[in-house]
Amino acid sequence: MTRRTEWPGATESGEAGVDGGGPSSSRADQGAPLRGRGAATGGADPAEQARAICLRLLTGTPRTRKQLEDALRKRDIPDDVADEVLCRFEDVGLIDDAAFADAWVESRHQGRGLARRALARELRHRGVDTAVIDQAVSRLDHDQEEETARQLVERKLRATRGLERDKRIRRLAGMLARKGYSEGLALRVVRRALEEEGEDPESLEWHLPGS
């Protein structure tokens, strides 16, 4: 992976904007009606309204089909009209959940160091299909994930110096766990980092047995 995509407003937990797209700075982005709940169906063609809403939400920030579907439902667009518009947007490539998932995995792994488990959780929250998620996260192999975990611990190591060993281990391993890394990988990476720093391996065996 070489290209990095920054996702506006995305936090480590993955919460951002309208169901996790970009920052929700306008009433349209928030799915709020402009003139009451019936505005989408009163007077104007619902399909035209649906297209306009989707285009506004897609400006500058990719969205999944589910995110757009939810936004249209909040604007009282009939389900059959929404489905027709969304299918048309997919046909012309304006909605592409596979491309969204690939870019999300690249951006969030490189930018936040998130592991496959956390990335899959964020994509599920955005309504991406399980098969598409599996394909996207499979681009991160075990070696790449472990190397990222090692870099994360290395950056955090200095800030934990001076803490008791148990507390230091909990803090470093907890940081990795919050980013979606398995317990076994987290403890193994932490132990290796402490050994490289000069900790006695025999002493670490008591704190990190079998890691």
Encode the chain (211 residues) as per-residue pLDDT tens digits: 444 444 434 544 444 444 455 433 344 444 444 433 444 445 689 999 999 999 999 998 899 999 999 999 999 999 999 999 999 999 999 999 999 999 999 999 999 999 999 999 999 999 999 999 999 999 999 999 999 999 999 999 888 888 888 888 889 999 999 999 999 999 899 988 888 887 655 555 545 555 4
pLDDT of residue 4: 41
d(CA 187, CA 195) in angstroms, rounded, equals 12
pLDDT of residue 102: 97
- pTM of the prediction? 0.74
Q: Which of 123, 143, 102 is nearest to 3 (CA)?
A: 102
pLDDT of residue 25: 38
Q: Residue 62: which residues within 8 A CB-CB, separation 6 or more?
A: 21, 96, 99, 100, 103
d(CA 179, CA 140) in angstroms, rounded, equals 14
CB 71 within 8 A of CB 85: no
CB 57 within 8 A of CB 21: yes
